Amino acid sequence: MFTIKMLPSGKEIKIDSESTLLEAFKENGVYIKSTCGGYASCGCCKVKIVEGKENLEKIGFPELQLLGNVFHITKERLACQTRVTGDISVDIAVHDEDDDEEAREAKTKKKKSVKPPARPLVRKKEDVAKVREEREKEFQEKQKENFAWKNHWVKKEQNPELYEKPKKLGGGRRPQRFSYHNEDVDFEKIKAENQARREDSRGNFDVGQSEEAFEAPETNQTPASGERDFRKKRQNSDE
């Protein structure tokens, strides 16, 4: 048998190697909060190991899955999954039966304060008849609107003033063709001046001149550069 010292009360209880901490606490009347019944699914039965961590069995997969591998930081274990191999000291200050009872009562009061669902509205016979009449009127009005097109040609002959097209105030007109010419500009005069200018430029050059006039002068130019100059002059004269 091993000894478990509970803090902060300092009370000690006995435990064997086959029982878990939660089972030992329940046998000795020590309150430990637990809602899953010892199946490692709620995480409420956490206790803090103060001394004797070397006397604990290795953390199992269910406990590791719920708490994670943080025992070296938090020093917390699940009482429902922890078995001991020696004496230990455990801090169970977070497990206060009075505080848990108050929280449980407050939770139940909150549930009771919720208003029940409203009962369905029960109408009187007079109200039902009135509602039906109103709905019937609305239905008849909708039917009139839906069938307003029926025999419309007869209605047009009887009341032609109702079917006259409204007069358009400036709308519906065709757009006017845009003129690109300015009346103040004499385009014929400008055209004649351009033609005369082109004829003058042609008269300054005699097309019948021989190619000797375009021979390259006696300079240090290469035959290729002289031929290039001749082609440029000939091209300008053709233009």
* Per-residue model confidence (pLDDT) at position 183: 58
Find out whether the peptide bond into 117 is cis, omega within 30 degrees of 0.
Answer: no
Q: Please write the tens of the pLDDT for every residue from 132-168.
A: 899 999 988 888 777 766 766 666 677 766 666 666 6
Task: Pick the closest to residue 13 from 37, 39, 35, 32 (CA basis).
Answer: 32
Q: Please write the tens of the pLDDT for every residue from 181-198.
A: 555 667 788 888 888 888
Q: CB count, 10 Å around CB of 233? A: 12
Q: Please write the tens of the pLDDT for every residue from 79-92.
A: 999 999 999 999 99
Ordered structural domains, the chain, with CATH: 2-96 (3.10.20.30)
Is 6 a residue whose pLDDT tops 70? yes
* Per-residue model confidence (pLDDT) at position 177: 67
- Length of the chain counted residue by residue: 239
The amino acid occupying position 42 is C
* Per-residue model confidence (pLDDT) at position 98: 86
Q: Are 88 and 79 in contact (CB under 8 A)?
A: no
Mean pLDDT rounded to a whole number for the chain: 78
Rounded distance, CA 130 to CA 185, Å?
83
Residue 102, helix vs strand vs coil? helix
CA distance readout (Å), 53 to 32, 62, 142, 161: 20, 19, 83, 103
For residue 216, what pLDDT band results from cuts at 50, 70 and 90? very low
Rounded distance, CA 221 to CA 230, Å?
12
Give the residue-averaged pLDDT of 34-54: 89
* Per-residue model confidence (pLDDT) at position 91: 93
* Per-residue model confidence (pLDDT) at position 114: 62
